Structure 1
Amino acid sequence: MFDNTHAHITTWVVALILFAVALFLHNSGNKKAMKIVQMILRLFYLLIIATGFMLFSKHSSYDPALYGIKFLGGIVVIAMMEMVLVRTSKGKNTGVFWALLLISFIVTFYLGAKLPLGWNWFS
């Protein structure tokens, strides 16, 4: 079932869209809708982790170190997305979390594209 990354990529693309929608809803003042979207986003976090773990367990033998770093990077991306949303809803400063989100996303995306299951853009 997990010979390719379609399910995993679909889940994180939907999660990124939901993240942007949650931020937009917060900025527009619609707190209740933001909470609903945030709960759906949390479900997608679990789906991302599940599909990522299935891919990791099946394909990590290609390059265990880089796949491990990518797996941890993905967990950090999810954690920073959640921290940005929670701290934004509480009205607290999110600058550090945005920076960590951006850095971890770039590293994780680069590794995902570079590794054998990726798109071979960086070969």
Structure 2
Amino acid sequence: MTHMHITSWALGLILFLVALALYKKNSNKPATIVHMILRLVYLFIIVTGGLLTWDYIQGYGMPLLGEAIVKALAGLWIVVVMEGILVSTKKGKAVTGKWIQFFIALIIVIVLGFFRLPMGFYF
């Protein structure tokens, strides 16, 4: 499940950057298509992340429960902010605050996912 989650995140970030570049070039029709595909990938990200969180709850118990929940919430936060960045870019609104939120949540997710929780690199 971990590999599927990481793959869906990688695909999601690639599609996010492609949609963002297309919106900035004012290619709205191709950008909208990529954006809709990205929304389907969001579902894979959320489902696989939820299953990983469930695995943490079942397998590792209370010592890591708080960190797993924080990582899950930060992951949801990233999905919401990615959607907000794309919609604001499409409408021509300011996105500076959303980018700051994106990078803060991304740091939280990477640190917890790869370096603290047991299914990451060091455990």
Q: TM-score, normalised by structure 2?
A: 0.92
1:95-114 alignment to 2 at 5 Å? 95-114=96-115
Map Cα deviations across residues 44-91 of structure 1 (whole Å, 9 max, x no partner).
111000001111112235210000000000000000000000001000
1:1-123 paired onto structure 2 within 5 Å? 2=1, 5-61=2-58, 62=60, 63-114=64-115, 115-120=117-122
Q: Per-residue deviation at 1:29?
A: 1.8
Cα shift readout 1:85-118 (whole Å, capped 9, x = no counterpart): 0001000010000000011011111100121000
C-alpha separation between the residues in 2 aligned to 1:108 and 1:24?
24
Whichever residue aligns with residue 92 of structure 1, its letter is K
SS of alignment partner, residue 60 of structure 1: helix
Structure 1, unaligned stretches of length 5 or more? none
CA contact (8 A) 2:78 2:102 kept: yes
Please give the root-mean-square deviation of Cα atoms over the aligned residues, in Å.
Answer: 1.1
In terms of mean alpha carbon deviation, does 55-64 or 106-115 score higher?
A: 55-64
Q: Please, which runs of 5 or more residues in structure 2 have no aligned partner?
A: none
Amino acid at match of 1:95: T
Question: Contact between 1:26 and 1:89, CA under 8 Å: does it hold in 2?
Answer: yes
Q: How many residues align?
A: 118
Structure 1 stretches of at least 4 aligned residues deviating more than 3 Å after TM superposition:
none
Q: Percent identity?
A: 42
